[in-house]
């Protein structure tokens, strides 16, 4: 098995660990009749840990190596899952380990994503997007599989999902230990000599700035759906299996979006496609806000899933294609920081809105957030991306009529 495929397996294991652990903690609190606000605050804990560690871990990845950073994160993840199992009857230490679990997962990603980017250094666009697609498939399947298995195990024993998380994180750590060490710190690269290549890289950096804003808005919705959907589903008389099916279809919509984006390049550096994705996401949120049953939730969350898939895939593509080897860790870290920050904002905002205004309020608040951040995206394009785009066009010579 190649190094790249082993990294996909590690990604699957880490997200399966997080999926099982998040499910276990959330379900345990729900069984104790925790309030919607409490669920929101606790749910934001792991995402906050991820956000706190993202940027420092990205710097560490560039300075000390991808494998070292991923090993550090996986080790912390294992310690946290074991610790939560040991202190299962003590609320404060148990929730503290839950918080540090987010730090471990965030550090792992700070090593894994740029490591995959380094392996594709100098590769074609198709090879790069194929790597990103497989990475996104791996973490989505890991999250889905971890939650599904945790749901089945929870019936047997309330802490069985945490035992599963211990086993999965241990397997990820062992696999990382078996991988060969990467280059500890990529050397600074000379300036690109070809104007077209330099222009393309500058455009990726510029569009990456828009993706940062989009990630905060999109994952704000993720935080609400991940931690607070159960209340709305119960209010609409959607059964537990029905809720699981709806979330599964939403995840399928996300992965289909990844596949479409890998198979085409019409979306590269295109504002119109970004606008279309945002409108699709807003339409999905609007449907959720007025849904009266499972069909409305299915349609609305599937549309939202397409926007979320577009946001994350494009942000990773622009981060890896717009950065040099020696700065890839920091570029990818900013992506993970904005993603986790959005989850924190969404979970807290949704918890407060739901507690004060009812079960639909979190999704109405998410609609407003997406609109506001969309306006901010357009301002970023107008004042930052458009000048870069114009300069890039001027520096690329037109050879279409050469020799005529």
Question: In this structure, are 44 and 93 located in the same domain?
Answer: yes
359: CB partners within 8 A, 6+ apart: 231, 232, 235
Where does a domain end: 179, 209, 239?
179
294: CB partners within 8 A, 6+ apart: 236, 238, 242, 246
Question: Does 401 score more than 60 pLDDT?
Answer: no
Rounded distance between C-alpha atoms, residue 146 and residue 25, angstroms: 13
Query: What is the residue-wise DSSP string for 333-361?
Result: HHHHHHHHHHHHHHHHHHHHHHHHH-TTH
Structure tokens at 390: 């114009």
If one counts every other C-beta atom within 10 angstroms of the C-beta of residue 6, the result is: 14
- Write out the residue range of the structural domain in which residue 133 sits: 1-179
- Tens-place pLDDT, residues 151-196: 888 878 888 889 999 999 999 999 999 998 754 444 545 444 444 4
Higher pLDDT, residue 310 or 63: 310
- Tens-place pLDDT, residues 303-348: 999 999 999 999 999 988 887 767 788 888 899 999 999 988 988 8
In a domain, 373, yes or no: yes
Question: In this structure, are 127 and 156 located in the same domain?
Answer: yes
Report the percentage of the chain scoring pLDDT > 90: 44
Rounded distance between C-alpha atoms, residue 154 and residue 142, angstroms: 18
Rounded distance between C-alpha atoms, residue 298 and residue 69, angstroms: 38
**Quick one: pLDDT at residue 93?**
86
Where does a domain end: 115, 149, 179?
179
Rounded distance between C-alpha atoms, residue 403 and residue 291, angstroms: 61
User: 353 pLDDT band (50/70/90 cuts)?
Assistant: confident
Rounded distance between C-alpha atoms, residue 20 and residue 221, angstroms: 21
In a domain, 192, yes or no: no
**Quick one: pLDDT at residue 394?**
64
Question: In this structure, are 347 and 265 located in the same domain?
Answer: yes
Question: In this structure, are 227 and 376 located in the same domain?
Answer: yes
Say if CB 172 and CB 98 are below 8 A apart: no
Nearest 5°: phi and psi at 347?
-65, -45
If one counts every other C-beta atom within 10 angstroms of the C-beta of residue 81, the result is: 28
Question: In this structure, are 209 and 168 located in the same domain?
Answer: no
In a domain, 157, yes or no: yes
Rounded distance between C-alpha atoms, residue 72 and residue 80, angstroms: 12
Rounded distance between C-alpha atoms, residue 320 and residue 314, angstroms: 10
In a domain, 76, yes or no: yes
Question: In this structure, are 214 and 171 located in the same domain?
Answer: no
Report the percentage of the chain scoring pLDDT > 70: 90
**Quick one: pLDDT at residue 387?**
87
Question: In this structure, are 280 and 340 located in the same domain?
Answer: yes
In a domain, 190, yes or no: no
Where b means 16+ CB within 10 Å and e means fewer, 90-126 reads: eeeebbbbbbbbbbbbbbbbbbbbbbbbbbbeeeeee
Question: In this structure, are 86 and 220 located in the same domain?
Answer: no
- Tens-place pLDDT, residues 266-278: 998 899 999 999 9
Where does a domain end: 114, 146, 179?
179
CATH code of the domain containing 48: 1.20.1250.20
**Quick one: pLDDT at residue 375?**
95
Say if CB 211 and CB 318 are below 8 A apart: yes
Question: Does 62 score more than 50 pLDDT?
Answer: yes
> SS3 helix, strand, coil % of the chain, rounded to 5?
85, 0, 15
279: CB partners within 8 A, 6+ apart: none
Which element (helix H / strand E) includes 252?
Answer: helix 240-263
In a domain, 384, yes or no: yes
Structure tokens at 76: 């912390």
Say if CB 314 and CB 132 are below 8 A apart: no
**Domain count across the chain:** 2
In a domain, 328, yes or no: yes
**Quick one: pLDDT at residue 34?**
67
Question: In this structure, are 32 and 110 located in the same domain?
Answer: yes
Question: In this structure, are 267 and 301 located in the same domain?
Answer: yes
Longest dimension (CA), the chain: 80
Question: In this structure, are 62 and 165 located in the same domain?
Answer: yes
- Tens-place pLDDT, residues 198-228: 677 888 888 999 999 999 999 999 888 877 7
Question: In this structure, are 289 and 173 located in the same domain?
Answer: no
In a domain, 195, yes or no: no
pTM for the model stands at 0.84
């Amino acid at each position: 098995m190649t190094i790249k495929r082993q990294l996909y397996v590690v990604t699957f294991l880490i997200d399966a660990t997080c999926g099982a652990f998040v499910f276990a903690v959330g379900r345990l609190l729900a069984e104790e009749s925790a309030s919607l606000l409490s669920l929101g605050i606790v749910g934001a804990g792991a995402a906050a840990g991820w956000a706190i560690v993202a940027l420092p871990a990205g710097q560490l990845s560039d300075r000390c190596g991808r494998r070292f950073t991923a090993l550090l994160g996986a080790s912390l993840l294992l310690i946290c899952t074991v610790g939560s199992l040991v202190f299962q009857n003590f609320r404060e230490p148990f929730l503290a380990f839950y918080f540090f679990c987010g730090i471990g997962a965030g550090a792992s990603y700070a090593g894994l994503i740029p490591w995959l980017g380094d392996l594709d250094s100098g590769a074609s666009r198709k090879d790069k997007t194929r790597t990103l697609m497989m990475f996104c498939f791996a973490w989505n399947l890991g999250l889905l599989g971890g939650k599904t298995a945790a749901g089945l195990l929870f019936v047997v024993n309330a802490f069985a999902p945490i035992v599963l998380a211990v086993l999965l994180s241990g397997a990820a750590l062992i696999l990382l230990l078996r991988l060969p060490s990467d280059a500890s710190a990529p050397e600074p690269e000379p300036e690109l000599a070809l104007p077209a290549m330099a222009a393309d890289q500058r455009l990726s950096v510029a569009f990456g700035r828009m993706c940062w804003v989009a990630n905060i808005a999109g994952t704000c919705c993720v935080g609400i759906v991940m931690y607070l959907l159960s209340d709305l589903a119960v209010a609409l008389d959607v059964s537990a299996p029905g809720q699981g099916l709806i979330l599964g279809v939403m995840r399928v919509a996300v992965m289909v979006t990844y596949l479409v984006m890998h198979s085409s390049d019409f979306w590269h550096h295109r504002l119109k496609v970004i606008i279309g994705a945002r409108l699709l996401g807003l339409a999905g949120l609007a449907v959720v806000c007025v849904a009266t049953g499972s069909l409305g939730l299915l349609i609305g969350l599937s549309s939202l899933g397409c926007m979320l898939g577009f946001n994350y895939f494009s942000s990773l593509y622009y981060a890896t294609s717009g950065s040099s080897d020696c700065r890839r860790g920091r570029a990818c870290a900013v992506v993970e920081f904005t993603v986790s920050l959005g989850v924190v904002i969404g979970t807290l905002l949704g918890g407060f809105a739901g507690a004060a205004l009812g079960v639909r309020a979190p999704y109405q608040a998410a609609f407003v957030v997406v609109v506001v951040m969309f306006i901010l995206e357009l301002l970023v394009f107008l004042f930052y991306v458009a000048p870069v785009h114009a300069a890039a066009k001027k520096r690329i010579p037109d050879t279409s009529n050469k020799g005529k």
